[in-house]
Amino acid sequence: MILDLPRFVTAERVYWNELQTVLDRLRLEPNWRMSIPEIERLHYLYERCSADLVRLDTFATEPQLRAYVESLVARAYAEIHETRARAGKIRWGAFIAAFPRAFRRHPGAFRLAVGLTLAGCAFGWFAIRADPDAKAVLMPFPALMGSPAKRVAEEESMKTDRLHGHKASFSAQLMTHNIQVTVMTMAAGITWGVGTIILLFYNGVILGAVAADYVGAGYGQFLAGWLLPHGAIEIPAILLGGQAGFILAGALIGSGERTSRTERLRSVAHDLLAIALGAVAMLVWAGIVEAFVSQYHQPVLPYSLKIAFGILEMAALSIFLSRVGRT
């Protein structure tokens, strides 16, 4: 049996055109709020076109016509079966609260990130204490290669502002680099978490090695005054990137869960987004502090003041992550 195609097209074209007009408008105006009668009409047109597609599949052989109706049905399907809320105006209050809520929903992933970083720190610490020559391998950065005593002496006797005329660009470079590291730590979760583990551990190794170098030489106060003002925000931001990486890895692996991988990934997507954006905002702040505060030492900025500032930031961050968004 073959469909009487011209009669069929003549009868149905008016509905196809109407549906196409509605779909084009939805594409051009993503925030168009349809009235109830308009929604009902869209639903009717979708069902009618779906029925046409079935008839064409069963009784007709014209591929171009089938592709046309199929594309209409596909587009209408996305609109009709979209049950999720549309993005309207951004509500900043809810947006800001989403970050700590997402953080609190996955304590295990954050603990794992902290644990791996601490393990890396311990490794870096003991490696440097056991073999100071390992410094060149563990922290291959020219700024960290010299002797702590020499650096502290230079920094404390500095008469001029060595960052004069470079502070803002230095700050921008720090921000972009740290955001890249954090995004990579999160994205590496797609390797079932292996990449995230390596990055967090290596980050910890560098931190532990630097701490061992300065504390071992008796400059613990200088180290705290140098690292705490920006590190109090920067290090937790990287840990949050690690947390997001492990959330992603957990959704991929889905050990013991009966839901599909697609459902698991869908369920954590919002949390990943909230944590990633929160970490980026933290790193913008950390970049500013690192360029404008951390690089100035005693007598310009007393260590006690810098350490107090760092502790204050850490306390504020802890309160924000643990309290904001609780109902």
Of the candidates 156, 152, 148, 151, the residue with the CA atom closest to the CA atom of residue 298: 156
User: Which residue, 191 or 221, has its beta carbon nearer to another protein?
Assistant: 191
**Cis peptide leading into 299, omega within 30 of 0?**
yes
Measure the CA–CA gap between 45 and 77, rounded to whole angstroms.
Answer: 11
Cβ(65)–Cβ(2) below 8 Å: no
Of the candidates 249, 248, 255, 250, the residue with the CA atom closest to the CA atom of residue 271: 248
By the rule CB under 8 A, 4 interacts with another protein: yes
**Closest CB 210 distance from another protein, rounded Å:** 25
Measure the CA–CA gap between 85 and 202, rounded to whole angstroms.
Answer: 41
By the rule CB under 8 A, 2 interacts with another protein: yes
How do the residues of the chain divide into helix, strand and coil, expressed in percent and rounded to 5?
80, 0, 20
Which two structure tokens, joined as six digits, stand for 16?
Answer: 């196809």
Binding mask 93-122 for another protein (x = CB under 8 A): ------------------------------
By the rule CB under 8 A, 266 interacts with another protein: yes
For another protein, which stretch binds (CB under 8 A), given 118-126, 138-146, 167-175, 214-222? 167-175
By the rule CB under 8 A, 54 interacts with another protein: yes
By the rule CB under 8 A, 318 interacts with another protein: no
| Block residue for tokens 């390596």 | 198
By the rule CB under 8 A, 247 interacts with another protein: no
**Closest CB 132 distance from another protein, rounded Å:** 33
**Closest CB 16 distance from another protein, rounded Å:** 8
**Closest CB 202 distance from another protein, rounded Å:** 16
User: Which residue, 7 or 326, has its beta carbon nearer to another protein?
Assistant: 7
Long-range Cβ contact pairs of 156-162 (< 8 A, separation 24 or more): 156/297, 156/298, 156/299, 158/297, 158/300, 162/295
The DSSP secondary-structure symbol of 280 reads H
Of the candidates 186, 187, 220, the residue with the CA atom closest to the CA atom of residue 307: 220
By the rule CB under 8 A, 180 interacts with another protein: yes
User: Which residue, 187 or 228, has its beta carbon nearer to another protein?
Assistant: 187
For another protein, which stretch binds (CB under 8 A), given 120-128, 130-138, 273-281, 304-312? 273-281
Q: How far is CA 195 from CA 87, 149, 227, 268, in A?
A: 33, 36, 26, 19
Residue 254, Ramachandran bin (φ over 0: left; ψ between -120 and 50: alpha; else beta): left
How many residues touch another protein (CB under 8 A)? Answer: 68
Among 195, 225, 242, 325, binds another protein (CB under 8 A): 195
By the rule CB under 8 A, 63 interacts with another protein: yes
By the rule CB under 8 A, 27 interacts with another protein: yes
Q: How far is CA 40 from CA 35, 43, 284, in A?
A: 9, 5, 47
By the rule CB under 8 A, 42 interacts with another protein: no
Compute the radius of gyration of the chain from its Cα atoms: 29
Residues at the site binding another protein, with contacts judged by CB under 8 A: 1-2, 4-7, 9, 13, 20, 27, 30, 47, 50, 53-54, 57, 59-65, 67-68, 70-74, 77-79, 81-82, 84, 87, 165-169, 171-173, 175-176, 179-180, 183-184, 186-188, 190-191, 195, 248, 252, 262, 265-266, 269-270, 272-273, 276-277
